[in-house]
Amino acid sequence: MNLLSISNLSKIGREEPLFTEVTFGLNEGEKAALIGKNGTGKSTLLNTIAGVLQPDDGTVVLNKTGGTSFLPQNPVYEKEDTIRDHIFKSKSPKLEIIREYEELCLNLGSLSESQQKRYDQLCDTMEKQDLWNYEAQISSILSTLGITDMSRKMGSLSGGMIKKVALAQVLVEDTKLLLLDEPTNHLDITTISWLQDYLKNTDRAVLMVTHDRYFLDNVCTNIYELDHHKLKLYQGNYSTYLEKKETENEIAKNTDRRIEAVLRFERDWLLRGPCARGTKAKARIQHDMELINREKFKEDKGFTFEVKGRRLGGKVLELHGISKNFPKGYAGADAGTTTPVIKDFSYNFTAGQKIGIFGNNGTGKSTLLNIITGSLQPDEGSIVVGDNTHFAYYQQNPVFKDTSLTVLEYIQEVAENVTMNNGKTYSAARFLEEFGFEGKIQYSPVSTLSGGERKRLFLVRLLISNPNFLILDEPTNDFDIFTMNILEQFLEQFQGCLLIVSHDRYFMDKVADTLFIFEDNGDVSGFVGKCSEYIDYLTEKKKVEAQKESEEKAIEREKQKAAYAEEQKQAVASGESAKPKKLSFKEQREFEQLEKDIESLEARKSELEGLMAGPDYSKLAEYTKEYNDVSASLDEKYLRWEELA
């Protein structure tokens, strides 16, 4: 089924076209991504497809039967809406039925006669349309995203939580096409892994903008690159795209060399005696001008970025028994109580360490960074900073004191020239060019920059301030892959200490070799190794725990069956009649269905145990999740079966 058809789509930016004559389509099940440098129009194209923006030319045709769901980079919401209100604002008939059913369930004990009648009707409708399973899927998605209290007001949520709720709204809609703008921003690594598996295995079509390269590699089957106002298709995942791009680069280099040789020959011909060449052929002159004016392939050369830095002393940074508590709950809930986010954490940093911080949202990662930099005081413990330690702190939402400064002036406040470790010196203007601030934009006020451009500019200023202890809090949000490559190169060569919070697994694997693991209870532990290695460790650990739990539950069920059988035996021996409980017609149907469901689930559980023990680790997370879901469903059905037996 064709879900999206785009023909000759064009959109004009501030000074020039963002994209022109874009033509492509998506069919059911296809997974595609838009990539390109910041400012090339990726989000604009996605918003145009979604109907938020109108094109200057061309057409967008969406399949109305299949339906489309759109996740914007900055979700729009009503502050007074509850999470439930926001998620179920969809006009989907299925969601409207489930929403009404859940609202009645909240007051199940005090329903009026008319409400009880409507409740029975909804139950019947949900059974006929098989919405019970759909509701279970919705509950699973919400639970996985950490959305448990549906009554919270949207205005009381953090930015990360708002993004999760918006993502949940998109995923629960029964649509065939998903348009996702930076879906991994503000998500923790475990949630990103879950979303990755979900999108990979769903039959829904996906078109997304993301800088998460592992995500691109595992989900996408097509990569669309937006460059020089044009859209080009690369069939395959991100790794395939890189291979094809490298081949293109080599061809382009050879082409450029050939063109340069032709140009020299042609120019010699043109300059060979103006009098003698007064009647030179117009066609030849035109050919020459075409060669001269040809825009050469612009290779991303991978700027070697190694700023000459300060030396660290023998004492860098010491943390002694750091603890921090925050009020529990929200909006007055659990008033007067606190919960620990960091508990009795001690560590001595040494020169050259590159440490990543891993943990779920809200576990205290940013809190630790704020304590180290002095913007937040610990409840207990002390901090000792070395005399030669010079911090540079990248925050998620940087503050600019004077936005009237031009981009170049803002950088020149720190340094007019930048000296590299190899002795080379770059001007501030040249340095800005390497981070995508080229031409006129250097003389534009900071106030005219987009949010993403401001973050990138703030990062540039930090990096050239000559720090020896670099602290980065989610530096990859809103950055394009090109900028991230430059940043990674710098961090790989950085000689000082690095402490970084990021949910980008690819980025973390490249720049960090040790992890601080933040637990939900405030404990902080260590892991020597890469982020991906830790995720593999967690996956294996959960698989073992799930198998152990399943075995324990199976033993418990056998004990219960044996006890029940013994009771029946004793009743018969004493002459008592073990009269079976009389079931209603509906209950009898339910009992029969339960026996079928239990048999089917037990079979699937055994099958999954075999799959998890197999060699295909690429689907281990998927199998583990399904195994846990099947086990939970079995427990519920066995419990109900025992009630009816």
pLDDT tops 70 at residue 77: yes
Instruction: Please calculate the CA angle 87-91-94 and round it to the nearest 5 degrees.
Output: 80
Could you identify the residue written with the tokens 């035109």? 286
**Which residues contact residue 549 at a Cβ distance below 8 angstroms, ignoring those fewer than 6 apart?**
631
Largest CA distance in the chain: 130
Instruction: Please calculate the CA angle 78-95-125 and round it to the nearest 5 degrees.
Output: 150
What does pTM read for this prediction? 0.70
pLDDT tops 90 at residue 52: yes
Write out the two tokens for 461.
């200023």
Q: Mean pLDDT across the stretch 339-363?
A: 89
What pLDDT score was predicted for residue 378?
Answer: 94
Write out the two tokens for 309.
């830095």
Q: How far apart are CA 18 and CA 225, in angstroms?
A: 13
pLDDT in tens, 537-586: 887 887 788 788 778 877 877 777 777 677 767 767 776 554 455 666 66
pLDDT tops 50 at residue 617: no
Q: How far apart are CA 213 and CA 642, in angstroms?
A: 49
pLDDT tops 50 at residue 335: no
CA-wise closest residue to 548 among 604, 631, 621, 635: 631
| CA distances in angstroms from 257 to 16, 253, 264, 303, listed in the order given | 30, 6, 11, 22
Write out the two tokens for 71.
């996740």
Write out the two tokens for 53.
């923006």
Burial class (CB in 10 A: 0-12, 13-18, 19+), 178: buried
pLDDT in tens, 469-514: 999 998 887 788 888 888 888 888 888 899 999 988 899 999 998 9
Q: Mean pLDDT across the stretch 368-385?
A: 93
Q: Which of the two residues, 483 and 50, has the higher pLDDT score?
A: 50
pLDDT tops 50 at residue 332: no
pLDDT in tens, 294-322: 444 344 444 445 556 567 777 899 999 99
Q: How far apart are CA 172 and CA 506, in angstroms?
A: 28
Average pLDDT of the residues of the chain: 82
Q: Which of the two residues, 20 and 113, has the higher pLDDT score?
A: 20
CA-CA-CA-CA torsion sign (385, 386, 388, 389) = negative
pLDDT in tens, 428-460: 888 888 787 888 889 999 998 877 788 889 988
